[in-house]
Amino acid sequence: MSNRNPLSKWSHGHLVLLGDAAHPMLQYAGQGAAQALEDADALVSAYKKYGSLSLDAVFREYE
């Protein structure tokens, strides 16, 4: 199913998880795509706020 312990981080280097990879959903709930869009929006907001500093700062804000 989708029950697992939360990850301590969603990023490593230049890689970041979003959607089901970051927080799994029940496969029949139909929320995976919506969660990916919400995560993408949060990632863009973090980039707009901290993108001039570093990706580490962006990813910390996103997480």
* Chain segment 27-60, per-residue pLDDT in tens: 777 787 888 899 999 999 999 999 888 888 999 9
In this prediction, residue 35 carries a pLDDT of: 87
Pairing of strands 15-16, 11-12: antiparallel
Any idea where the domains of the chain sit in the sequence? Answer: 11-62
Q: Which residue, 4, 30, 10, is CA-closest to 22?
A: 10
* Chain segment 2-21, per-residue pLDDT in tens: 567 778 888 888 899 988 88
